[in-house]
Structure 1
Amino acid sequence: MNDPQLWNVLEQIVTIEVGFLRLKGELVIPPEAKGIVVFAHCSGSSRYSTRDHYLAHLLRQQEGLATILIDLLTEEEDVIDQRTQHFRHDINFLASRLISVTDWLFENPITHDLKVGYFGVDRGSGAVFLAALARPMNVGAIVCRSGYTDLVSESLSYMQSPTLLIVGGNDCAIIAMNEDALSQISTQHKQLEIIPEASHKFSEPGAMEEVGRLASQWFKYYLSPIEERELHLHAMSLSE
Protein backbone atom coordinates (compact mmCIF):
# COMPACT_ATOMS: atom_id res chain seq x y z
CA MET A 1 0.00 0.00 0.00
CA ASN A 2 3.05 2.30 0.23
CA ASP A 3 3.95 1.89 -3.45
CA PRO A 4 4.50 5.45 -4.81
CA GLN A 5 3.05 4.34 -8.18
CA LEU A 6 -0.35 3.99 -6.52
CA TRP A 7 -0.42 7.66 -5.59
CA ASN A 8 -0.72 8.71 -9.23
CA VAL A 9 -3.57 6.38 -10.18
CA LEU A 10 -6.52 8.32 -11.60
CA GLU A 11 -9.91 7.01 -10.47
CA GLN A 12 -13.14 8.61 -11.64
CA ILE A 13 -16.85 7.90 -11.86
CA VAL A 14 -17.62 9.12 -15.36
CA THR A 15 -20.86 9.95 -17.16
CA ILE A 16 -21.09 9.34 -20.89
CA GLU A 17 -23.90 11.06 -22.77
CA VAL A 18 -25.63 9.05 -25.48
CA GLY A 19 -28.19 11.38 -27.00
CA PHE A 20 -30.44 12.36 -24.10
CA LEU A 21 -29.30 9.38 -22.00
CA ARG A 22 -26.40 9.07 -19.59
CA LEU A 23 -24.29 5.98 -18.96
CA LYS A 24 -22.19 5.67 -15.82
CA GLY A 25 -18.81 4.00 -15.52
CA GLU A 26 -15.75 3.54 -13.33
CA LEU A 27 -12.54 4.74 -14.99
CA VAL A 28 -9.14 3.85 -13.53
CA ILE A 29 -5.89 4.93 -15.21
CA PRO A 30 -2.55 3.78 -13.73
CA PRO A 31 0.52 5.95 -14.36
CA GLU A 32 2.15 5.48 -17.78
CA ALA A 33 -0.76 3.39 -19.11
CA LYS A 34 -0.55 2.83 -22.87
CA GLY A 35 -3.93 1.17 -23.36
CA ILE A 36 -7.41 1.04 -21.88
CA VAL A 37 -9.71 -2.00 -21.69
CA VAL A 38 -13.49 -1.60 -21.94
CA PHE A 39 -15.51 -4.38 -20.30
CA ALA A 40 -18.74 -5.49 -21.99
CA HIS A 41 -20.87 -7.73 -19.77
CA CYS A 42 -23.80 -9.77 -21.05
CA SER A 43 -26.23 -7.93 -18.77
CA GLY A 44 -25.03 -4.56 -20.02
CA SER A 45 -23.48 -3.71 -16.65
CA SER A 46 -19.87 -4.30 -15.66
CA ARG A 47 -19.84 -1.99 -12.65
CA TYR A 48 -21.77 -4.51 -10.56
CA SER A 49 -19.92 -7.63 -11.70
CA THR A 50 -17.48 -8.88 -9.06
CA ARG A 51 -15.67 -10.97 -11.71
CA ASP A 52 -15.21 -7.97 -13.99
CA HIS A 53 -13.94 -5.90 -11.06
CA TYR A 54 -11.43 -8.59 -10.18
CA LEU A 55 -10.22 -8.98 -13.77
CA ALA A 56 -9.92 -5.20 -14.15
CA HIS A 57 -7.78 -5.18 -11.00
CA LEU A 58 -5.53 -7.89 -12.47
CA LEU A 59 -5.10 -5.98 -15.75
CA ARG A 60 -4.07 -2.84 -13.89
CA GLN A 61 -1.83 -4.66 -11.43
CA GLN A 62 -0.07 -7.02 -13.83
CA GLU A 63 0.42 -4.84 -16.91
CA GLY A 64 -0.48 -1.27 -15.90
CA LEU A 65 -3.49 -1.13 -18.23
CA ALA A 66 -6.26 1.41 -17.74
CA THR A 67 -9.79 0.02 -17.38
CA ILE A 68 -13.35 1.26 -17.65
CA LEU A 69 -16.28 -0.70 -16.23
CA ILE A 70 -19.32 0.77 -17.92
CA ASP A 71 -23.07 0.36 -17.59
CA LEU A 72 -24.29 -0.03 -21.16
CA LEU A 73 -27.85 0.34 -19.83
CA THR A 74 -29.40 3.24 -17.97
CA GLU A 75 -30.96 2.56 -14.56
CA GLU A 76 -34.44 2.59 -16.12
CA GLU A 77 -33.39 0.16 -18.86
CA ASP A 78 -31.76 -2.10 -16.30
CA VAL A 79 -35.00 -2.31 -14.31
CA ILE A 80 -36.84 -3.39 -17.46
CA ASP A 81 -34.09 -5.84 -18.36
CA GLN A 82 -34.24 -7.51 -14.95
CA ARG A 83 -37.83 -8.49 -15.76
CA THR A 84 -37.67 -9.16 -19.49
CA GLN A 85 -33.96 -9.69 -20.34
CA HIS A 86 -34.79 -7.82 -23.53
CA PHE A 87 -31.72 -5.58 -23.71
CA ARG A 88 -29.12 -8.18 -22.78
CA HIS A 89 -30.19 -10.34 -25.72
CA ASP A 90 -30.06 -7.45 -28.18
CA ILE A 91 -26.38 -7.44 -29.11
CA ASN A 92 -26.87 -4.80 -31.81
CA PHE A 93 -28.26 -2.46 -29.16
CA LEU A 94 -25.39 -3.22 -26.75
CA ALA A 95 -22.86 -2.79 -29.59
CA SER A 96 -24.25 0.68 -30.39
CA ARG A 97 -23.72 1.69 -26.75
CA LEU A 98 -20.21 0.25 -26.80
CA ILE A 99 -19.42 2.28 -29.91
CA SER A 100 -20.59 5.43 -28.11
CA VAL A 101 -18.28 4.62 -25.20
CA THR A 102 -15.38 4.09 -27.61
CA ASP A 103 -16.01 7.42 -29.33
CA TRP A 104 -16.15 9.12 -25.91
CA LEU A 105 -12.76 7.67 -24.97
CA PHE A 106 -11.17 9.11 -28.11
CA GLU A 107 -12.77 12.51 -27.49
CA ASN A 108 -11.92 12.68 -23.78
CA PRO A 109 -8.67 14.61 -23.11
CA ILE A 110 -7.47 12.15 -20.45
CA THR A 111 -8.06 8.99 -22.52
CA HIS A 112 -7.71 10.01 -26.18
CA ASP A 113 -4.06 8.86 -26.36
CA LEU A 114 -4.81 5.37 -25.02
CA LYS A 115 -5.28 2.45 -27.42
CA VAL A 116 -8.62 0.73 -26.83
CA GLY A 117 -9.21 -2.95 -26.15
CA TYR A 118 -12.49 -4.80 -25.56
CA PHE A 119 -13.11 -7.52 -22.99
CA GLY A 120 -16.35 -9.36 -23.78
CA VAL A 121 -18.15 -11.81 -21.50
CA ASP A 122 -20.79 -14.35 -22.55
CA ARG A 123 -23.29 -12.62 -24.87
CA GLY A 124 -21.36 -9.39 -24.40
CA SER A 125 -18.77 -10.95 -26.71
CA GLY A 126 -21.20 -10.58 -29.59
CA ALA A 127 -21.52 -6.86 -28.91
CA VAL A 128 -17.73 -6.57 -28.73
CA PHE A 129 -17.26 -8.09 -32.19
CA LEU A 130 -19.92 -5.87 -33.76
CA ALA A 131 -18.49 -2.74 -32.16
CA ALA A 132 -14.97 -3.65 -33.29
CA LEU A 133 -16.22 -4.06 -36.85
CA ALA A 134 -17.80 -0.61 -36.66
CA ARG A 135 -14.57 0.97 -35.37
CA PRO A 136 -11.81 -1.17 -36.96
CA MET A 137 -9.15 1.54 -36.71
CA ASN A 138 -9.86 2.26 -33.05
CA VAL A 139 -9.97 -1.19 -31.45
CA GLY A 140 -6.48 -2.59 -30.94
CA ALA A 141 -7.32 -5.93 -29.29
CA ILE A 142 -10.19 -8.15 -28.18
CA VAL A 143 -10.44 -10.76 -25.44
CA CYS A 144 -13.59 -12.84 -24.97
CA ARG A 145 -14.34 -15.07 -21.97
CA SER A 146 -16.91 -17.84 -22.46
CA GLY A 147 -18.07 -15.99 -25.55
CA TYR A 148 -21.30 -16.78 -27.41
CA THR A 149 -19.56 -16.33 -30.73
CA ASP A 150 -22.39 -17.99 -32.66
CA LEU A 151 -24.39 -14.78 -32.26
CA VAL A 152 -22.11 -13.05 -34.78
CA SER A 153 -20.86 -15.97 -36.87
CA GLU A 154 -21.75 -14.21 -40.13
CA SER A 155 -19.55 -11.23 -39.20
CA LEU A 156 -16.43 -13.01 -37.97
CA SER A 157 -14.86 -13.30 -41.42
CA TYR A 158 -14.52 -9.49 -41.45
CA MET A 159 -12.76 -9.28 -38.06
CA GLN A 160 -9.37 -7.56 -38.16
CA SER A 161 -8.69 -6.83 -34.47
CA PRO A 162 -6.29 -9.28 -32.74
CA THR A 163 -8.59 -11.67 -30.88
CA LEU A 164 -8.04 -13.99 -27.92
CA LEU A 165 -10.80 -16.46 -27.01
CA ILE A 166 -10.71 -17.96 -23.49
CA VAL A 167 -12.88 -20.95 -22.61
CA GLY A 168 -13.11 -23.35 -19.68
CA GLY A 169 -12.05 -26.94 -20.34
CA ASN A 170 -15.34 -28.29 -18.97
CA ASP A 171 -17.48 -25.90 -21.02
CA CYS A 172 -17.86 -28.27 -23.98
CA ALA A 173 -20.57 -26.42 -25.93
CA ILE A 174 -18.69 -23.12 -25.73
CA ILE A 175 -15.42 -24.81 -26.72
CA ALA A 176 -16.99 -26.09 -29.94
CA MET A 177 -18.53 -22.70 -30.60
CA ASN A 178 -15.21 -20.89 -30.13
CA GLU A 179 -13.29 -23.40 -32.22
CA ASP A 180 -15.66 -22.66 -35.08
CA ALA A 181 -15.23 -18.93 -34.47
CA LEU A 182 -11.44 -19.19 -34.53
CA SER A 183 -11.55 -20.78 -37.99
CA GLN A 184 -13.83 -17.99 -39.25
CA ILE A 185 -12.00 -14.94 -37.84
CA SER A 186 -10.00 -13.43 -40.68
CA THR A 187 -7.12 -11.81 -38.78
CA GLN A 188 -3.91 -13.81 -38.45
CA HIS A 189 -3.55 -12.56 -34.89
CA LYS A 190 -5.96 -14.89 -33.16
CA GLN A 191 -5.77 -17.53 -30.47
CA LEU A 192 -7.96 -19.91 -28.47
CA GLU A 193 -6.94 -20.73 -24.89
CA ILE A 194 -8.72 -23.55 -23.07
CA ILE A 195 -8.16 -23.55 -19.30
CA PRO A 196 -8.19 -27.17 -18.06
CA GLU A 197 -10.97 -28.24 -15.69
CA ALA A 198 -12.52 -24.75 -15.61
CA SER A 199 -16.28 -24.26 -15.92
CA HIS A 200 -18.24 -21.58 -17.77
CA LYS A 201 -17.84 -19.03 -14.96
CA PHE A 202 -14.24 -19.98 -14.06
CA SER A 203 -15.16 -20.30 -10.39
CA GLU A 204 -12.55 -23.02 -9.73
CA PRO A 205 -9.45 -22.09 -7.67
CA GLY A 206 -6.92 -20.29 -9.85
CA ALA A 207 -9.10 -20.30 -12.97
CA MET A 208 -9.99 -16.61 -12.98
CA GLU A 209 -6.39 -15.72 -12.19
CA GLU A 210 -5.35 -17.60 -15.33
CA VAL A 211 -7.95 -15.69 -17.34
CA GLY A 212 -6.46 -12.47 -16.00
CA ARG A 213 -2.90 -13.54 -16.85
CA LEU A 214 -3.75 -14.50 -20.42
CA ALA A 215 -5.85 -11.38 -21.01
CA SER A 216 -3.21 -9.08 -19.48
CA GLN A 217 -0.48 -10.41 -21.75
CA TRP A 218 -2.68 -10.16 -24.85
CA PHE A 219 -3.78 -6.60 -24.17
CA LYS A 220 -0.32 -5.48 -23.09
CA TYR A 221 1.21 -6.71 -26.33
CA TYR A 222 -1.40 -5.50 -28.81
CA LEU A 223 -2.16 -2.19 -27.10
CA SER A 224 1.53 -1.27 -26.91
CA PRO A 225 3.20 0.92 -29.55
CA ILE A 226 4.60 -1.04 -32.51
CA GLU A 227 8.21 -0.28 -31.54
CA GLU A 228 7.66 -1.84 -28.11
CA ARG A 229 6.20 -4.97 -29.74
CA GLU A 230 9.27 -5.30 -31.95
CA LEU A 231 11.55 -5.02 -28.91
CA HIS A 232 9.47 -7.70 -27.16
CA LEU A 233 9.75 -10.06 -30.13
CA HIS A 234 13.49 -9.41 -30.37
CA ALA A 235 13.96 -10.21 -26.69
CA MET A 236 11.97 -13.44 -27.11
CA SER A 237 14.09 -14.52 -30.09
CA LEU A 238 17.28 -13.92 -28.10
CA SER A 239 16.02 -16.05 -25.22
CA GLU A 240 15.20 -19.04 -27.43
Structure 2
Amino acid sequence: MIKELLKIKLDHIHVEGELIIPDHCQGIVIFSHGSGSGRFSPRNNFVAQYLKKLNLGTFLFDLLTREEAMDSTLRFNIPLLTERLEKVSRHLLKIPYTKSLPFCYFGGSTGAASAMIASTLIPRHIAAIVSRGGRLDLSYEYLPEVEAPSLLIVGEYDNDILEINRRALDLLQVPKKLEIVPGATHLFEEPGCLEQVAELAGNWFLKYARLKSNQKKQRIKTTN
Protein backbone atom coordinates (compact mmCIF):
# COMPACT_ATOMS: atom_id res chain seq x y z
CA MET A 1 0.00 0.00 0.00
CA ILE A 2 1.15 3.53 -0.78
CA LYS A 3 0.27 6.31 1.66
CA GLU A 4 1.57 9.77 0.91
CA LEU A 5 0.87 13.37 1.87
CA LEU A 6 0.97 15.47 -1.28
CA LYS A 7 1.49 19.21 -1.48
CA ILE A 8 0.42 20.42 -4.91
CA LYS A 9 1.25 23.87 -6.24
CA LEU A 10 -1.65 25.57 -8.00
CA ASP A 11 -0.69 29.01 -9.28
CA HIS A 12 -0.02 31.15 -6.16
CA ILE A 13 -1.15 28.61 -3.54
CA HIS A 14 -0.50 25.03 -2.41
CA VAL A 15 -3.18 22.49 -1.62
CA GLU A 16 -2.52 19.48 0.60
CA GLY A 17 -4.05 16.05 0.53
CA GLU A 18 -3.60 12.44 1.55
CA LEU A 19 -3.21 9.87 -1.18
CA ILE A 20 -3.73 6.19 -0.36
CA ILE A 21 -3.27 3.49 -2.99
CA PRO A 22 -4.02 -0.03 -1.67
CA ASP A 23 -2.49 -3.19 -3.09
CA HIS A 24 -4.37 -4.50 -6.14
CA CYS A 25 -5.93 -1.06 -6.57
CA GLN A 26 -9.04 -0.99 -8.78
CA GLY A 27 -9.18 2.79 -9.25
CA ILE A 28 -8.74 6.06 -7.41
CA VAL A 29 -11.54 8.17 -5.95
CA ILE A 30 -10.84 11.91 -5.71
CA PHE A 31 -13.01 13.69 -3.16
CA SER A 32 -14.47 17.09 -3.99
CA HIS A 33 -15.53 18.61 -0.68
CA GLY A 34 -18.32 21.12 -0.38
CA SER A 35 -19.39 24.15 1.64
CA GLY A 36 -15.99 24.86 3.16
CA SER A 37 -15.34 21.27 4.21
CA GLY A 38 -11.89 19.77 3.74
CA ARG A 39 -9.88 16.58 3.80
CA PHE A 40 -10.64 16.01 7.48
CA SER A 41 -14.39 15.86 6.88
CA PRO A 42 -15.64 12.98 9.08
CA ARG A 43 -18.29 11.98 6.54
CA ASN A 44 -15.92 11.82 3.59
CA ASN A 45 -13.27 10.04 5.67
CA PHE A 46 -15.86 7.45 6.67
CA VAL A 47 -16.67 6.84 3.01
CA ALA A 48 -12.97 6.75 2.14
CA GLN A 49 -12.28 4.08 4.75
CA TYR A 50 -15.02 1.92 3.27
CA LEU A 51 -13.68 2.40 -0.28
CA LYS A 52 -10.20 1.28 0.78
CA LYS A 53 -11.68 -2.06 1.87
CA LEU A 54 -12.82 -2.49 -1.74
CA ASN A 55 -9.27 -1.89 -3.00
CA LEU A 56 -10.14 1.58 -4.24
CA GLY A 57 -7.54 4.29 -3.77
CA THR A 58 -8.54 7.65 -2.32
CA PHE A 59 -7.32 11.22 -2.47
CA LEU A 60 -8.77 13.64 0.05
CA PHE A 61 -7.46 17.18 -0.26
CA ASP A 62 -8.33 20.74 0.68
CA LEU A 63 -9.88 22.66 -2.22
CA LEU A 64 -9.39 25.87 -0.23
CA THR A 65 -6.52 26.99 1.97
CA ARG A 66 -7.22 27.54 5.66
CA GLU A 67 -7.45 31.30 5.10
CA GLU A 68 -9.71 30.94 2.06
CA ALA A 69 -12.07 28.61 3.92
CA MET A 70 -12.88 31.47 6.26
CA ASP A 71 -14.33 33.44 3.33
CA SER A 72 -17.87 32.10 2.93
CA THR A 73 -18.16 33.48 -0.62
CA LEU A 74 -15.35 31.21 -1.84
CA ARG A 75 -17.23 28.13 -0.66
CA PHE A 76 -19.74 28.76 -3.45
CA ASN A 77 -17.21 29.84 -6.07
CA ILE A 78 -17.84 26.86 -8.34
CA PRO A 79 -15.50 28.00 -11.16
CA LEU A 80 -12.62 28.27 -8.65
CA LEU A 81 -13.36 24.90 -7.03
CA THR A 82 -13.72 23.27 -10.45
CA GLU A 83 -10.44 24.69 -11.70
CA ARG A 84 -8.59 23.37 -8.66
CA LEU A 85 -10.19 19.95 -8.89
CA GLU A 86 -9.23 19.71 -12.56
CA LYS A 87 -5.64 20.80 -11.89
CA VAL A 88 -5.24 18.36 -9.00
CA SER A 89 -6.62 15.57 -11.21
CA ARG A 90 -4.13 16.44 -13.94
CA HIS A 91 -1.33 16.40 -11.37
CA LEU A 92 -2.31 12.87 -10.30
CA LEU A 93 -2.32 11.85 -13.96
CA LYS A 94 1.42 12.57 -14.02
CA ILE A 95 2.30 10.39 -11.02
CA PRO A 96 3.60 6.95 -12.13
CA TYR A 97 1.57 4.90 -9.65
CA THR A 98 -1.73 6.72 -10.24
CA LYS A 99 -1.75 7.76 -13.89
CA SER A 100 -2.80 4.35 -15.20
CA LEU A 101 -5.69 3.94 -12.75
CA PRO A 102 -9.34 4.75 -13.55
CA PHE A 103 -10.21 8.04 -11.85
CA CYS A 104 -13.55 8.65 -10.09
CA TYR A 105 -15.05 11.66 -8.35
CA PHE A 106 -16.99 11.69 -5.08
CA GLY A 107 -18.59 15.08 -4.50
CA GLY A 108 -20.63 16.36 -1.58
CA SER A 109 -22.89 19.42 -1.62
CA THR A 110 -21.22 22.17 -3.73
CA GLY A 111 -18.32 19.80 -4.34
CA ALA A 112 -20.63 17.60 -6.39
CA ALA A 113 -21.26 20.49 -8.79
CA SER A 114 -17.50 20.99 -9.15
CA ALA A 115 -17.01 17.28 -9.79
CA MET A 116 -19.62 17.24 -12.55
CA ILE A 117 -18.10 20.24 -14.32
CA ALA A 118 -14.48 19.09 -13.87
CA SER A 119 -15.38 15.73 -15.43
CA THR A 120 -16.32 17.51 -18.65
CA LEU A 121 -12.82 19.01 -18.84
CA ILE A 122 -11.01 15.65 -18.69
CA PRO A 123 -13.78 13.28 -19.83
CA ARG A 124 -11.66 10.35 -21.01
CA HIS A 125 -10.04 10.03 -17.58
CA ILE A 126 -13.13 9.97 -15.35
CA ALA A 127 -14.74 6.54 -14.97
CA ALA A 128 -17.60 7.44 -12.62
CA ILE A 129 -19.07 10.14 -10.41
CA VAL A 130 -21.01 9.89 -7.15
CA SER A 131 -22.84 12.91 -5.77
CA ARG A 132 -23.84 12.98 -2.08
CA GLY A 133 -26.51 15.55 -1.32
CA GLY A 134 -25.23 17.48 -4.33
CA ARG A 135 -26.00 21.10 -5.13
CA LEU A 136 -26.27 20.11 -8.74
CA ASP A 137 -28.36 23.17 -9.56
CA LEU A 138 -24.99 24.95 -9.62
CA SER A 139 -23.95 22.77 -12.57
CA TYR A 140 -27.21 22.31 -14.49
CA GLU A 141 -25.91 23.80 -17.74
CA TYR A 142 -22.97 21.38 -17.80
CA LEU A 143 -24.82 18.17 -16.96
CA PRO A 144 -25.77 17.28 -20.56
CA GLU A 145 -22.01 17.30 -21.35
CA VAL A 146 -21.04 14.88 -18.57
CA GLU A 147 -19.72 11.59 -19.97
CA ALA A 148 -19.07 9.67 -16.74
CA PRO A 149 -21.78 7.37 -15.31
CA SER A 150 -23.32 9.28 -12.42
CA LEU A 151 -24.94 8.16 -9.19
CA LEU A 152 -26.91 10.75 -7.21
CA ILE A 153 -27.47 9.95 -3.52
CA VAL A 154 -29.96 12.04 -1.54
CA GLY A 155 -31.57 11.71 1.87
CA GLU A 156 -35.31 11.01 1.93
CA TYR A 157 -36.01 14.11 4.03
CA ASP A 158 -33.62 16.45 2.22
CA ASN A 159 -36.56 17.83 0.26
CA ASP A 160 -35.03 20.78 -1.62
CA ILE A 161 -31.92 18.83 -2.62
CA LEU A 162 -34.09 15.90 -3.70
CA GLU A 163 -35.96 18.11 -6.17
CA ILE A 164 -32.67 19.53 -7.44
CA ASN A 165 -31.31 16.03 -8.02
CA ARG A 166 -34.45 14.85 -9.80
CA ARG A 167 -34.00 17.72 -12.24
CA ALA A 168 -30.30 16.88 -12.57
CA LEU A 169 -31.14 13.26 -13.35
CA ASP A 170 -33.25 14.40 -16.28
CA LEU A 171 -30.39 16.53 -17.63
CA LEU A 172 -27.74 13.80 -17.47
CA GLN A 173 -27.29 11.85 -20.70
CA VAL A 174 -25.18 9.00 -19.32
CA PRO A 175 -25.81 5.82 -17.31
CA LYS A 176 -27.34 7.35 -14.20
CA LYS A 177 -29.30 6.57 -11.07
CA LEU A 178 -30.92 8.43 -8.20
CA GLU A 179 -30.70 6.62 -4.85
CA ILE A 180 -32.86 7.94 -2.01
CA VAL A 181 -31.63 6.86 1.42
CA PRO A 182 -34.67 6.17 3.67
CA GLY A 183 -34.90 8.27 6.83
CA ALA A 184 -31.87 10.40 5.97
CA THR A 185 -31.53 14.17 6.09
CA HIS A 186 -28.89 16.27 4.31
CA LEU A 187 -25.85 15.16 6.32
CA PHE A 188 -26.88 11.48 6.58
CA GLU A 189 -26.33 11.64 10.34
CA GLU A 190 -29.11 9.18 11.15
CA PRO A 191 -28.03 5.65 12.24
CA GLY A 192 -26.93 3.48 9.34
CA CYS A 193 -27.46 6.15 6.67
CA LEU A 194 -23.82 7.01 5.99
CA GLU A 195 -23.07 3.30 5.77
CA GLN A 196 -25.63 3.08 2.97
CA VAL A 197 -23.99 6.01 1.18
CA ALA A 198 -20.59 4.31 1.37
CA GLU A 199 -21.94 1.00 0.10
CA LEU A 200 -23.85 2.58 -2.79
CA ALA A 201 -20.83 4.65 -3.79
CA GLY A 202 -18.43 1.72 -3.53
CA ASN A 203 -20.57 -0.53 -5.74
CA TRP A 204 -20.91 2.22 -8.35
CA PHE A 205 -17.21 3.02 -8.42
CA LEU A 206 -16.15 -0.62 -8.64
CA LYS A 207 -18.56 -1.36 -11.46
CA TYR A 208 -17.43 1.50 -13.69
CA ALA A 209 -13.75 1.51 -12.72
CA ARG A 210 -13.55 -2.13 -13.78
CA LEU A 211 -15.43 -1.33 -16.97
CA LYS A 212 -12.99 1.48 -17.73
CA SER A 213 -10.03 -0.84 -17.10
CA ASN A 214 -11.46 -3.50 -19.38
CA GLN A 215 -12.07 -0.95 -22.14
CA LYS A 216 -8.49 0.25 -21.85
CA LYS A 217 -7.14 -3.30 -22.05
CA GLN A 218 -9.31 -3.93 -25.10
CA ARG A 219 -7.98 -0.81 -26.83
CA ILE A 220 -4.39 -1.87 -26.12
CA LYS A 221 -5.12 -5.35 -27.48
CA THR A 222 -6.70 -3.90 -30.61
CA THR A 223 -3.77 -1.54 -31.15
CA ASN A 224 -1.27 -4.37 -30.85
Aligned ranges 1:19-168 → 2 under 5 Å: 19-61=11-53, 63-78=54-69, 82=70, 84-168=71-155
Structure 1 residue 226: Cα displacement:
4.9
Can you give the 5+ residue segments of structure 1 that lack an aligned partner in the other structure?
A: 1-8, 230-240
Aligned twin of 1:196 = 182
- Local SS of the residue matching 1:194: strand
Residue identity in the other structure for 1:29:
I
Aligned twin of 2:191 = 205
Of 124-133 and 45-54, deviating more is 45-54
Can you give the 5+ residue segments of structure 2 that lack an aligned partner in the other structure?
A: 216-224
Aligned 8 A contact 1:39 1:118 in 2? yes
Aligned 8 A contact 2:35 2:109 in 1? no
Partners of 1:130 and 1:226 lie apart in 2 by 20
Structure 1 residue 74: Cα displacement:
2.2
Aligned 8 A contact 1:37 1:65 in 2? yes
Aligned twin of 1:232 = none
User: Normalising by the residue count of structure 1, what TM-score does the alignment of the two structures yield?
Assistant: 0.86
Aligned twin of 1:236 = none
Aligned twin of 1:4 = none
Structure 1 residue 110: Cα displacement:
1.8
Provide, for residues 42-63 of structure 1, a one-character-per-residue CA deviation record: whole Å limited to 9, x for no partner: 13543120111111001111x1
Residue identity in the other structure for 1:129:
M
Aligned CA RMSD, in angstroms, stands at 1.5
User: Normalising by the residue count of structure 2, what TM-score does the alignment of the two structures yield?
Assistant: 0.92
Partners of 2:140 and 2:185 lie apart in 1 by 23
- Local SS of the residue matching 1:143: strand
Structure 1 residue 34: Cα displacement:
2.1
Partners of 1:226 and 1:22 lie apart in 2 by 31
- Local SS of the residue matching 1:73: coil
CA distance change for structure 1 residues 157 and 225 in 2, over 3 Å: closer, same or farther?
Answer: closer
Q: Which has the larger radius of gyration?
A: 1
Residue identity in the other structure for 2:198:
G
Structure 1 residue 21: Cα displacement:
2.0
Aligned 8 A contact 2:102 2:212 in 1? no
Figure out how many residues of one structure are paired with residues of the other and give that number. Answer: 215
Aligned 8 A contact 1:39 1:46 in 2? no
